[in-house]
Structure 1
Amino acid sequence: MKIISTEVKNKVLNSMMRLLDDNRSNILDANKKDLDLFKKDDQAMYDRLIVTNSKIDGMIGSIKEVMSQDDPVGKIISTQNLENGLDITNKTAPFGTIMIIYESRPDVTIEAAVLAFKANNKILLKGGKEALYSNTILVELWHKALEENGLPKEYIQQLTKNREETQEFLRNPTEKLDLIVPRGGERLINFVKEHAKCAVLVSGRGNNFLFVDKEADWEKSVKVIMNAKTEKISACNALDKILINANIENYEKKLTDIYQLLSAKGVETLVDADVNSVLTNAQQIKDDAIWKEEFLAMKCCLGSVDSLDEAVEKINDNSGGHSATIMTSNKDTAMQFMEEVDCAAVYQNASTRFTDGGQMGVGAELAISTDKLHHRGPLGLKQLVTNKYYIFGDGQIRE
C-alpha cells in the first residue's frame, strides 16, 4: 500500500472539517429522512441515530483532534544489530484494509474513517440501513475531501449490502480484508465471527457492573450509580448491574434509598432474592441469565453479595468484559478488585461512562475492544497500526 505523507493526510482532514461545516443543512436534511423512517420504539437506537448541530460540532472536533496527533505509521518500535551483521528495525505499519460494521450511529462514519485514514488504511464502512441517508452524505463529503487533495475515493468506501450480501462478502470478499471490527450487539458480533475469513477485533457488549464495598462512601456511590445508569442509556459504557456488600453499614436503608432514587428516575430495577427480602415490593429476578444481558435501556439489576471475592466472581461470570467499578475507600480492596476483574477498563470510585476514547485521552475511537489481541480498550489512532520488521543485510546467508 502506498504510504501517504502526513502533510497530505492532514490536508484531507482540513478539507473534511470545512465540508462538514459548510454542509450542515444537507447533513441534517439527510438525517431527517432517516429519522422519518425510523420507528421510535427503541430510544437507545434513536439517540444514536439522531444528528444535531452539536453532533456535527463533535464530528469536526474529532477530526481536529486526530489531525493534531502524531502520524502513527513508520514509528520505530525497536532496533537490533546482530553478530552476523544484520540490522533489524521493527516499525509500525498500516493494517491495509479495515472493515467496520456498525449500527445507527452516523458519527462513526466520521470517527472510523478519520482514524483509519490517518493510520494509512483503507476503510469499508458498513453502517446500518436505518442511517443510510446520513451515512451516504457523510461518505460523499469524504470523497470530496479526498479528491480535493488528489487522492482516490477508494480510501473510504461505503457498503450498502443487505444481510445476505454482507454474509457472502465476508465469506468471499471481492478485495483483500485485513481486519474487521463489528461494533454492535452480540448477534452482530457472532454473525461476523461465523462468516469472516480474516482477523476480527471484537467491540463487545457493555453489561457493566458496579460493586459497592462495605467501606464505600455512600454519597459518592449514589452519585456514580445515577450517572452511570441514567446519563446516557444508549452508550456501551452505561451501567447495567449493581452489587452491594451486605455487610455495609445501614445495608437495608441504603438498598431502599438507591432503589427509590432509581425508580424516581424511571429506571426499572430488578432484584435478586436476597435484596427482595428487604425490598419486598420490588420485582424479583426469575432467570439468572439476565445477569449476562446488556440493556441499553432504563433498566438495571440490583444484587447482594457477602464479599469482594463473591462480587469479582459474579462479574467475571456475567459481564461483557467492558467496564467495572468498585466503590470503596480501601485502596487495597480496590486494587484487588481491579487486578482480578477481567474487563478492559476497571475503576475505583468513578463512573463507567468514562470508558471512551475522548475521555481517556486517546481521542476519537474506532470502538472499545473487549478482545485481548491485539489491543484492549479504546481503539484510537495509535492502535490502528500493526508492525513490520525491516532487515538490512550485506549478502548474509543462514548456514
Structure 2
Amino acid sequence: MNTLLSIETRNAVLLKMAKLLDEERKTIIEINKTDLEAYKGDDISMFDRLKVDDSKVDEMIAASKHLASQDDPVGVERFSFKHDNGMQVYNKTASFGTVLIIYESRPDVTVEAAGIAFKSGNKILLKGGKESLKSNLKIVELWHQALKEEKASTDWVEYLQFNRTETQAFLENPTQKVDLIVPRGGERLIAFVKQHATCPVIVSGRGNNFVFVEKDADVDLALKVIINAKTAKISACNALDKVLIDKNISNKPEFITTLISKLKEFDVEILGEDSLSKYKGVEKIQSNDIWYEEFLDYKIVIGEIESTEDAIAMINTYSGGHSASIITTNEAKAKTFMENIDTAAVYHNASTRFTDGGQLGLGGELAISTDKLHQRGPIGLQHLVTNKWYIHGNGQIR
C-alpha cells in the first residue's frame, strides 16, 4: 500500500505536470493526430472527444494548476464530539485508496480526472479506450516523469493496457485492491462496468436533458437557451435533446416556426410529435421510446405539453436524471418545477450546458454522477473522499 503523499508533494507533482504538458505540447498534439487518423468509426461525438489541440492542452494545464491551488480535501474535520468518558472523537475526510477510471476517447481525462483522484490522495488506475491509446500513454509518461522528479513512486498512476476480455476479468476479480470505479463514457460502457464490478461504482450517467418552455416564458431568452444547449457542444452529456412547449404560450405558431428556422441554421434534425410534425422541417416521431434516447448529435425532439405538472411528470419519466431547465418569468412555476424535477441539476432561465464541475465552482470534475449516492452531479475534489473516525482516549473501556 502506498503511504499517503504529503499535500506539498501532491501539489508539486500537479504543478510539474502542468509544466511538462506545456513543454510537450507539440508532441502530444502530433501523437494525438495518429490516434485521430487511426479512428475509423463514424461517431462524431467520439471523434470530437478524442481530439487534442492547443486549447485542449491549455485546459489540461489550467486543470493541473487549479488543482494544485486548492485546499487538501483529505483530513478535513467534519464533526467532533467529547464523550462523557473523556474520549475525544473526530470524523475526518479520508481518501478512498485506489480509484480505477475507465473511459473512452478523451485524453484530457488522463490529466483532469486522474489529477482530481491524485490530489484526493488516491492511487490511480487508468483504463482508456483503444482509440486514444497513444495519446494516453504519452500523458501517463508525463505523470511518471512528474512523480519521479518529486521523489514519489510512479505506482501512484498506472495505465492498464487491457482489452475488453481482460477488463472484464479485472473487474470481476481484481489482481490488486480497487476501492472505487468511475466509468466515463456512453451507456454501454457504464452498463458493462456495473454488470461486472465487484466494488462501488460512481455512475456518470446519460444526459437526455430537457428544456420546458412554460407559457409565461420570455421567448427570445428561450430561443437563445435552446440553441446554445443543443448546438454549442453536441458531444457533451449536458447538451439538450428534448424541448417541451407549453400549449398555452402566446404566439405559439410564431415561436415554433422561429425555433425551427434557428435550429435549421445549425443543421439540426428536428423530430416532433403529431401536433408539431405539421410544421415544415419537422419529421414525425415513430415511437415514444425516442423520448428516452440521448443523441450526442445534431438531433432534437420537440413536443407540446398541457401544464408545468405534466412537464415535470414527463421529464421524470424519460430524462437521464442529469439536467433540466424551465424557461419562465413566473417565479412560483419555476420553484414548483425545480423542487419536483428529479435530476442532478435543475435550471431556471439558463442553459443545461453549465452542469460541469468547472462551471459550478468546483474547479473541475471527476465525473457527473446521476446516482444519488455517494454524490450527485459534478464530482469535484471535495467529493472524492470517504470519511474515517479518529478516537483519542487514555485507557477508556466499555
1:321 matched to 2:339: no
With 33-42 and 370-379 compared, the bigger mean Cα shift is at 33-42
The answer to whether the 8 A contact 2:12-2:68 is kept is no
Kindly state the Cα deviation for residue 335 of structure 1 after the two structures are TM-superposed. Answer: 1.0
Partner of 1:301: 301
Question: Is the contact between residue 272 and residue 282 of structure 2 (CA under 8 Å) also seen in structure 1?
Answer: yes
| TM-fit CA distance, 1:260 | 1.9
CA distance in 1, matches of 2:45, 2:302: 21
Partner of 2:347: 347
In the alignment, which residue of structure 2 is the partner of 1:94? Answer: 95
Residue of structure 1 in register with 2:221 after alignment: 220
Aligned to 1:191: 192
**Aligned-residue offset at 1:281:** 5.6
SS of match in other structure, 2:300: strand
TM-score by length of 1: 0.98
Residue number in structure 2 paired with 1:167: 168
Q: 2:38 maps to what in 1?
A: 37
Could you say what secondary structure the match of 2:195 adopts? helix
Aligned positions of 1:72-91 closer than 5 A:
72-91=73-92
* Matched residue, 1:55: 56
Aligned-pair CA distance for 1:345: 0.6
Q: Does 1:146 align with 2:147?
A: yes
Q: Aligned partners of 2:119, 2:266: CA distance in 1, in Å?
A: 42
Residue 92 of structure 1: how far off its partner (Å): 0.5
How many Å separate the matches in 1 of 2:15 and 2:272?
Answer: 51
Q: What's the offset of the Cα at 1:186?
A: 1.4
Q: Secondary structure at the match of 1:378?
A: strand
**Paired AA for residue 354 in structure 2:** F
* 1:356 equivalenced with 2:351 (yes/no): no
State the AA in 1 paired with 2:370: T
Task: Measure, in 1, the Cα distance between the counterparts of 2:365 and 2:212.
Answer: 27
Partner of 1:384: 384
SS across alignment from 1:199: coil
For each residue in 1:190-215, what CA deviation from the matched residue of structure 2 results, as whole angstroms up to 9, or x when unmatched? 11111000001100011100000000
Corresponding position of 2:263: 262
Report the Cα distance in structure 2 between the residues aligned to 1:281 and 1:183, rounded to whole angstroms: 35
CA contact (8 A) 2:369 2:378 kept: yes
SS in structure 2 at match of 1:223? helix
Counterpart for residue 14 of structure 1 = 15
For residues 154 and 210 of structure 1, what CA distance do their matches in structure 2 show?
A: 45
Question: Hey, what's the Cα distance between the residues in 2 that align with 1:66 and 1:179?
Answer: 20
Partner deviation per Cα, 1:81-139 (whole Å, 9 max, x = no partner): 11122211000000100011111110010001111111100111111110000000000
* Distance in structure 2 (CA, Å) of the matches to 1:106 and 1:124: 14
How far apart, in 2, do the equivalents of 1:342 and 1:253 lie?
A: 31
Q: TM-score, normalised by structure 2?
A: 0.98
Per-residue displacement from partner, 1:270-324 (whole Å, max 9, x unpaired)?
0012222x42662111111111111000001001100001101110101111110
Partner of 1:28: 29
Q: Which aligned segments of 4 or more residues in structure 1 are displaced greater than 4 angstroms?
A: none
Q: Deviations over 1:231-263 (max 9, x none)?
A: 110111100000000000011221121112112
Contact 2:104 2:185 in 1 (8 A): yes
State the partner residue of 2:68: 67
Partner deviation per Cα, 1:148-197 (whole Å, 9 max, x = no partner): 11111111111111111100000000111110011111111111111000
Quote the residue 2:134 is aligned against. Answer: 133
In structure 1, C-alpha distance between the alignment counterparts of 2:191 and 2:41, rounded to whole Å: 26
For 1:81 and 1:293, how far apart are their aligned partners in 2? 53
Letter of the structure 2 residue corresponding to residue 7 of structure 1: E
Paired residues of 2:270 and 2:281 also in contact (CA < 8 A): no
1:92 is aligned with what amino acid?
T
Matching residue of 2:178 = 177
Partner AA of 1:68 in structure 2: S
1:41 CA drift (Å): 2.2
Give matches, 1:99-138, under 5 Å: 99-138=100-139
1:29 CA displacement: 1.6
> Could you tell which deviates more after superposition, 38-47 or 376-385?
38-47
The amino acid that maps onto 1:284 is K
The answer to whether 1:239 aligns with 2:240 is yes
Provide the secondary structure at the position in 2 that maps to 1:324. strand
Tell me the SS of whatever aligns to 1:106: coil
AA at the equivalent of 1:269: I
In structure 2, distance between residues paired with 1:125 and 1:286: 41
Shift of 1:362: 0.5
Taking only the aligned residue pairs, the percentage that are identical comes to 56
1:359, 1:205 → 2: CA distance?
Answer: 19
RMSD across aligned positions (CA) = 1.0
Counterparts of 2:265 and 2:78 in 1: how far apart (Å)?
53
- Measure the CA separation in 1 of the matches of 2:223 and 2:144: 47
Cα distance in 2 for residues equivalent to 1:189 and 1:40: 20
Counterparts of 1:370 and 1:167, CA distance in 2 = 23
Measure how far apart 1:40 and its partner are. Answer: 5.7
Contact residue 214 and residue 249 of structure 2 kept, 8 A: yes
Structure 1 CA distance for aligned equivalents of residues 320 and 329 of structure 2: 26
